[in-house]
A = this chain, B = another copy of it.
Amino acid sequence: MNIRTEIIAVGSELLLGQIVNSNAQFLSQQLAELGLNVFYHTVVGDNPARLDQAIEIAKKRSNVIIFTGGLGPTKDDLTKETISKKLGKQLVFDQSALHSIEQYFSKTKRVMSENNKKQALVIDGSYILKNDYGMAPGMALQVDETIYMLLPGPPSEMRPMFQRYGKEYFHNILGLQDRITSRVLRYFGIGESQLETDIQDLIDYQTNPTIAPLAAEGEVTLRLTAKHKEEKEANMLLDEIEKKINERVGEFFYGYEQTTLFNELNNLLMEKGKTIAAAESLTGGMFSEKVTALEGAGLVFNGSIVAYTNDVKQSVLQIDKHILDTYGAVSEQCAKEMATQIRKLTASDIGISFTGVAGPSKQEDKPIGMVFIAIAMSEDNVKVFHLNLAGSRNGIRVKAVKYGCHYLVKLLKEIE
């Protein structure tokens, strides 16, 4: 059976932009893992005529239709009423759901209004999905080759319901054999279009695993997805293609799955038993903030000096006035001195510095986006990196911090 899935979220609050459709995202991830193709998301308001039309359209193009929302007690909640009518089915009380609703009200000593009972109504003949965190049960049924699944709107109810009961329903009714295994590879320092160009032939000719690139905030990720019966076999397929990809762009690879450059940095510092400190001008404390956002930062991070003005660069960071006068604060020489000084002042193994022009105006007659990052690995081993970054003031700062982290990761990996 060739599965074409559509997710229909019902709720005027989505169309007013009061909430974001996180249910569609969650279900899409879950369905991708099951190996079911999702071809459409639709959002429609609490309006029976428009919902009816949306179902009509979905029936023609999809054979699995998952609804979220509109199962609650209010007059606006019309999902199951509209679907049952469309399918020519009756709504009947589910005794077990009715019982839990009554219990809930007697337990919380609240008076049950009549419309709460409505939540126990289900489409006749449907398979009931228990709601462990709320009152309205979900349901699923197959009519003329099309599977309909109705889930509640609140994510706290919908998510566990789908994971505990919805997934299993699909496994059984579709007799799913293949499981999907995916792996995310993360890259920094290479643009999306460059990375794609470098591996275009692999993207084009690979069908299992598939390769999907995605770019965000200067980083590029590749999602590899393999279909298989055995997990071991899938992992072999993933290993193989990962190797092929990284033979070409491996120098930009930094980690797997949800990791970040800062996680990698933190892990490497821990592993190599090194401490670090930062001297920040351009980045105003952002590097330090990112490092200390992680638990256990205290073991590897000593501290930093945010030397925003030249006075503080001299007085606190003790940068030689001669360097500032001769080369300026935005210079290779100043970056080098900053990294050396912070390493010494905080008695750290490694010192890193950031200086540059974030904008909105030039500085020392140097252009916006000019950035110097220096890393002092020891007293006499100080490397300087010169970047020309594009973007907004904040974009330049964010990229500078990520580049700093990227260089540190590279240098740490080289340590025996």
Copies in the complex: 2
Closest residue of chain B to A346 (Cβ to Cβ) is B312
A163 lies within 8 A of chain B by Cβ: no
Partner of A285, one of B18, B286, B298, B316: B286
A14 lies within 8 A of chain B by Cβ: yes
Inter-chain contact B14/A28, CB cutoff 8 Å:
yes
Closest chain-B Cβ to A118's Cβ sits at a distance in Å of 10
Total A residues in contact with B, Cβ cutoff 8 Å: 101
Inter-chain contact B15/A41, CB cutoff 8 Å:
yes
A175 lies within 8 A of chain B by Cβ: no
Inter-chain contact B20/A38, CB cutoff 8 Å:
no
Inter-chain contact A28/B15, CB cutoff 8 Å:
yes
Inter-chain contact B297/A302, CB cutoff 8 Å:
no
A17 lies within 8 A of chain B by Cβ: yes
Known A285-B287, A287-B285; judge A388-B193 contact (CB<8 A): no
Closest chain-B Cβ to A206's Cβ sits at a distance in Å of 15
Inter-chain contact B113/A393, CB cutoff 8 Å:
no
Please list the residues of chain A having a beta carbon within 8 angstroms of any beta carbon in chain B: 9, 12-22, 24-32, 38-45, 47, 50, 53-54, 57, 61, 73-74, 104, 107-110, 113, 115-116, 133, 156, 191-194, 196-197, 212-214, 223, 277-278, 280, 283-289, 291-293, 295, 297-298, 301-309, 311-312, 315-316, 345-347, 359-360, 369, 388-395, 397
